[in-house]
Amino acid sequence: MGGRSTSDNFKRRFGNPPRIVLEFEAKKASFVEDADRSKKLAEATIGILRGVLGRESTQDELIGKKDIARHLKKGQT
């Protein structure tokens, strides 16, 4: 396998302790609600990376395979 865990990728991207907090609903969502929520979350993630990078992100950057830290401006971490 050799890849990093989701938790490691999150810590690498957002610091340890993280500078953001994610909270998930406790109740089970319907399939339609879940699909809509997933779409909105994906769009938000893409928008955040677009703002951080100043361009459209690549697929590898979106899934965490490629480190984006070298693209950050000083003081932006």
Q: How far apart are the first and last CA of the chain?
A: 29
Between residues 18 and 68, which one has the greater pLDDT?
68
Q: How many CA atoms lie within 13 A of 37 on its CB side?
A: 9
Q: What's residue 1's pLDDT? A: 46
Phi, psi of 28 (to 5 degrees): -75, 130
pTM: 0.52
Q: What's residue 8's pLDDT? A: 83
